[in-house]
């Protein structure tokens, strides 16, 4: 019985060494195309480099939805009239009256929309000129 015991230990050590070399070979093989494992630097796009987006603010039953919208500079907002009466969207003048303003330039018929691209950072309050209590806010960040 003692003669077979050393032979078993030798086989176990050979098996352990083969498994170790197998894992080592697998790490080298699978890491050659993966920059995270090889230590190579890979640039990722910065958050400010995203493509401009288009958001929709719908109007129905006297309410703009969403009432408050946070977007980034360069994004476009579509003001869509889902109601049964025409609306006209106009931004309020800021307190110092030197800020940018936007407006639909006339009525938006039911089922139609007006689009505006916000290129300036700031807070833009707007309202329906047919009913000035119907309001909303666009917050434009970087």
Mean of per-residue pLDDT scores for the chain: 84
Q: Tell me: the pLDDT tens digits for 99-135?
A: 567 888 899 999 999 999 999 898 999 999 999 999 9
Q: Which residues of 79-93 are buried (b: 16+ CB within 10 A; e: fewer)?
A: bbbebeeebbbebee
From residue 70, how far is each of 23, 48, 90, 115 by CA, in Å? 50, 15, 18, 16
Q: Which two tokens stand for residue 8?
A: 């078993």
Q: Residue 39's pLDDT is what?
A: 57
Q: Tell me: the pLDDT tens digits for 77-105?
A: 999 999 999 999 999 876 555 556 788 88
pTM: 0.62
Q: Contact, 88 vs 132, CB < 8 A?
A: no
């Amino acid at each position: 019985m003692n003669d077979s015991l050393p032979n078993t230990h030798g086989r176990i050590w050979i098996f352990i060494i083969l498994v170790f070399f197998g894992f080592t070979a697998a790490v080298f093989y699978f890491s050659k195309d993966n920059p995270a494992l090889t230590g190579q630097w890979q640039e990722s796009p910065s958050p400010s480099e995203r493509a401009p987006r288009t958001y929709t603010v719908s109007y129905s039953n006297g309410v703009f939805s969403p009432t408050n919208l946070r977007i980034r500079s360069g994004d476009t907002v579509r003001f869509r009239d889902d109601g049964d009466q025409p609306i006209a969207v106009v931004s309020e003048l800021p307190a110092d009256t030197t800020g940018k303003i936007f407006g639909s330039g006339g009525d938006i018929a039911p089922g139609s929309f007006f689009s505006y691209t916000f290129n300036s950072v700031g807070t833009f309050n707007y309202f329906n000129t047919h009913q000035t209590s119907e309001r909303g806010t666009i917050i434009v960040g970087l």
